[in-house]
Structure 1
Amino acid sequence: MDGGGRYLQPMTAYPAGFVVARSAPGQRGAGAAPFKKPSRITRFFGSSRSVRRRSASVPLERRLPRFLGTGLALGFFGAVVGFGLWQGGHIDGFVREYGEPHHALARAVGLGLDQVTISGISQMTEKEVLAAAGINSKLSLAFLDVNDLRERLERVPMVKTATVRKLYPNELVITLTEREAHGVWQNNGELFVIAADGTVIDLMQDERYLDLPFVVGEGANTRSKEYLALLGAAGPLKGRIRAGTLVAGRRWTLKMDNGMDVRLPELGAADALARLVKLENEQKILEKDVLAIDLRMADRVVVRLTEEAALARAEALKKKPMRGKGVDT
C-alpha cells in the first residue's frame, strides 16, 4: 500500500497451492518471458469471466427483445378472436364472401389478381382455361402457386404444355400449347375429339369440330390416318364423304352426303375409289335411288336399291315378257 492508501499489487485471489510468477519491473526487457497473445476466441468474445460479469451487470429487461411483451399480447388476443370467430361460424361466411384470409389480406395491400393474360389458345376458350386452373376473383397474386396452376392446366387433355408466370403487382400470364385436333371419333354412341395419333383429347361438347374428319367404330381412332388417305384418293368426291366406319377392324365403309354407303375392300381400297369416281363421271351413280354400293369385288359392282326403287324395278320386271315356251321372240 502506498502513501495514498492504494495497493501496489492486484487483489485477485487464487486457490491454495496456486503459484503465480510475476516478473520484476526491471525484467520486462529482453530476458523477460515472451508476452502470450490472447486467443482468437478471447479477442472476439472475451473470457468467460468477463462474459459472466457483463451478463450479471445487464438487467433482465434489457436483455429481452424490445416489444416482446406487446407481440405476445397481440398474438394471444388474435388467437382468442380467431377461435371465437371459428366457433361462431363467422370465418366460413368471410371465406365465402372474400376468400381465404391470406388472399384477402394480400388484395388489401395491392397484390390482388386483377389481370390474367392467356396466349396460345385456338381450340379452348378463356373461360375454359380459367376454370381448369381454378382462378377466380377471390385469389391474390402473392399466394398463387404457379407450379400447382401449371399442373392443373396440363391435366386438361387439350393442353400439351403450360407456362405460368407472375408479373407483380397484379398480373398473371398463362401461355399454353394445345394439342391439335385432327378428327372426331364415334364409339359406343359417344363422340370424342382425337389427335393425329388417335389420342383422345376431349369429349365433343359443341360444334367447333364438326368440319374435322369423322371416323366410327372400335379402333377407328388409331387408324384415322388410313381414313385420311382414303379421302385423298377420292379426288373430286372427297367433299361428298361425310364419315368412315371401320368394319370388324379390317375394312372401311364410307358414308356419303346423301346417306349412301360405299363398301370398300380390305385390300385395294384406293383402286376401288378410283372405280367409284369413274362410275360417277359416266353414270352419275351417286344420284340414283341406291342405298349402298359394294366395291369389294374387283370385277363387279353390286348395288342395293332403295325400297321404292326396288318396288319399281319389280313391277317393271313383271311387265316385261319372259323368254320361253309360248312366247314369241
Structure 2
Amino acid sequence: MSRSRKTKTGNLTTKSGIKARRAWNDKAARLTALARRFGTMTVIIVLLIWTGSWVFLGGAAARSGIWVRHQVYELAGHVGFSVENILVEGRMHSDPDVLRAVLNVERGDPIFAFDPKDARDLLERISWVREAHVERRLPDTIYIGLIEREPMALWQSKGKIRVIDPEGVTLTDLKIAPYKDLIIIVGEDAPKHAAELIGMISAEPGLNDKIEAATWVGERRWDLKFKNGLTVKLPEKDTGLALRRLMQAQEADHLLEKDLTSIDMRENDRIIVRTKPGAVQDYKAGLKGNNI
C-alpha cells in the first residue's frame, strides 16, 4: 500500500509540473503579445506581480524557484530585456580578456540574469582594479566603471620584475614592456618605502628621467643608480633635502654629467665624489658663498 501511494504521488507531481509549465508557456505568450501592445515596462511590472503571486499561491518556492526565475529571465529577454551593450569606462591597464572572463556575460543574455553585485566583487579581485561600479541600465546595457591602481615602479626581487603601485601592491609580472620607463626598485622591503622616495624625486624637475633604479640599503636608506652608470648614496634622514642639494649642484656645475662613478650625499655639509680612476675628493661648488 505504501509503495502504491508513493507511485501515485509521484505521478501527480509530474502531471502537476507539466500543467504548470503549460500554464507558464500560455502566460508567456500572452505577456509577449502584451509587450507588443503596451510596451516592455508594463510587461515587466505585470510579470513581477504575477510571478510572485504564482510562487506564493502555488507554495512552490522551494521546488520551482530556480525554474521560475529562469523563465522570468528568458521571457524578459524575449520582450527586449537582453544584453546588447557592455560599456566599460576607466580601463587603462586591466586585460580585456580577464574582464570578459570575470563578467561571464554575452550579448543576447537575459539582462536580469546578470548580478551587478557579484560582478563587482569579482572585478575588485583583479589586481589592477581598486574599485568597480557595476549596474544594469535597462533595457539592454551593462555599465562597468573602473578605478584602476596606478603603476608607480618596477620591483626587482627574487629574479622577477613586477609592476607595483604606490601602496606596494603587485599589479602584474607579465607583459611589463609598456612600463619599462618606470624606476626599478630593488630590495625585499623596497615597495613599502618607494612611494615616499619617488614623490621626492618627482618634486625635483628633470631628476626622474635620469634615474634608472633605486636600491633599498640596510633597511634604512636608498642608493640611486643613474642611467649613465653613476651611483648616488642618499642619507637615512632628510632625503628630500639631500636631493635638493644634489640638484643645486647640478644646476650650478652640471655635477651629474661629470666623469664620476659615485656621489655620496650622506654628510650634511659636503658632497663627496669618486672619479672613475678611483680618487676621492670633496666636491665644493660654491652656491651663494656656501659649501653644499
Pairwise TM-score range, normalised by the shorter structure: 0.5 to 0.7
How many positions carry a matched residue from both structures?
A: 218
**Cα 1:224–1:204 shift into 2, 3 Å:** farther
SS of corresponding position for 2:122? helix
| CA distance, structure 1, for counterparts of residue 203 and residue 137 of structure 2 | 52
Matched with 2:19 is: 71
SS of corresponding position for 1:193? strand
Contact map agreement 2:84 2:108 (CA 8 A) in 1? no
**Cα 1:111–1:277 shift into 2, 3 Å:** closer
Relative contact order (C-alpha < 8 Å, sep 6+): which is higher? 2
Contact map agreement 1:132 1:156 (CA 8 A) in 2? no
1:241 to 199, 206, 211: 211
- Report the Cα offset of residue 171 of structure 1: 2.5
Sequence identity of aligned pairs in percent?
29
Matched with 2:225 is: 255
**Cα 1:204–1:259 shift into 2, 3 Å:** farther
Which AA in structure 1 matches 2:19?
A: G
| CA distance, structure 2, for counterparts of residue 205 and residue 106 of structure 1 | 43
Q: Which runs of 5+ in 1 are unaligned?
A: 1-63, 75-100, 314-329
Matched with 1:301 is: 272
> Is 2:106 the counterpart of 1:158?
no
- Report the Cα offset of residue 227 of structure 1: 0.8
**Cα 1:149–1:274 shift into 2, 3 Å:** closer
**Cα 1:238–1:160 shift into 2, 3 Å:** closer
| CA distance, structure 2, for counterparts of residue 68 and residue 281 of structure 1 | 90
TM-score after normalising by structure 2: 0.58
**Cα 1:245–1:69 shift into 2, 3 Å:** closer
- Report the Cα offset of residue 153 of structure 1: 0.7
Which AA in structure 2 matches 1:190?
A: K
After the TM superposition, which residues 124-163 of structure 1 pair with which residues of structure 2 at under 5 Å, given as runs? 124=94, 126-137=96-107, 139-163=109-133
SS of corresponding position for 1:191? strand
1:116 to 86, 100, 103: 86
Cα deviation, 1:244-299, whole Å, max 9, x if unaligned, reads 22112111111212122111222343443344334434554433333322333454
Task: Select the structure that is richer in helix.
Answer: 2
TM-score after normalising by structure 1: 0.53
Q: Which runs of 5+ in 2 are unaligned?
A: 1-11, 23-69, 280-292
